[in-house]
């Protein structure tokens, strides 16, 4: 049994040196992020809902077109398209969703790493050393 106590014993108390800035790169406006030449803020997460919506519409339309085309051919093709086309459309939706979630996770990891670095007061000395 684990003794009760602080979960993270190495917490750094906040002070002026390691305070998290009020405005993070993620809080910038769209155009400020778009023209950020240092790539400290990202616009991808702002568009991921729109990209997924477009993917939903395009995959849905393609599925409908293939479904109608398969049914219009008749015979075995109609029966096969009745079962296989919706499954293929669903599979494409799942793949699109997983791909976009992967992109979102990678960008959120980057944002959270930046926040953690800022909260711990690290990174600025090392960044200056790397730039020199």
Kindly report the pTM of this predicted structure.
Answer: 0.63
Closest CA to 19 of 122, 127, 130, 119: 119
Q: What is the pLDDT of residue 30?
A: 76
Residue 46 inside a domain? The answer is yes
φ, ψ (nearest 5 deg) of residue 130: -70, -35
- N residues, the chain: 132
Q: Render pLDDT for 54-89 as a digit per residue (tens, 0 to 9).
A: 999 999 999 999 999 999 998 999 999 999 999 999
Domain range for 51 is: 42-120
Residue 29 inside a domain? The answer is no
The number of domains in the chain is 1
Residue 62 inside a domain? The answer is yes
């Amino acid at each position: 049994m684990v003794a009760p106590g602080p979960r993270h014993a190495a917490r750094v108390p906040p002070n002026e040196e390691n305070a998290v800035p009020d405005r993070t790169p993620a809080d910038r406006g769209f155009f400020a992020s778009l023209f950020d030449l240092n790539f400290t803020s990202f616009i991808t997460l702002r568009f991921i809902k729109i990209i997924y919506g477009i993917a939903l519409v395009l995959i849905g339309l393609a599925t409908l077109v293939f479904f109608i085309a398969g049914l219009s051919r008749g015979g075995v093709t109609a029966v096969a398209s009745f079962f296989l086309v919706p499954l293929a459309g669903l599979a494409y939706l799942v793949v699109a969703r997983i791909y976009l979630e992967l992109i979102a996770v990678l960008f959120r990891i980057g944002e959270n790493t930046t926040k953690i670095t800022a909260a711990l007061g690290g990174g600025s000395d090392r960044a200056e050393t790397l730039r020199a």
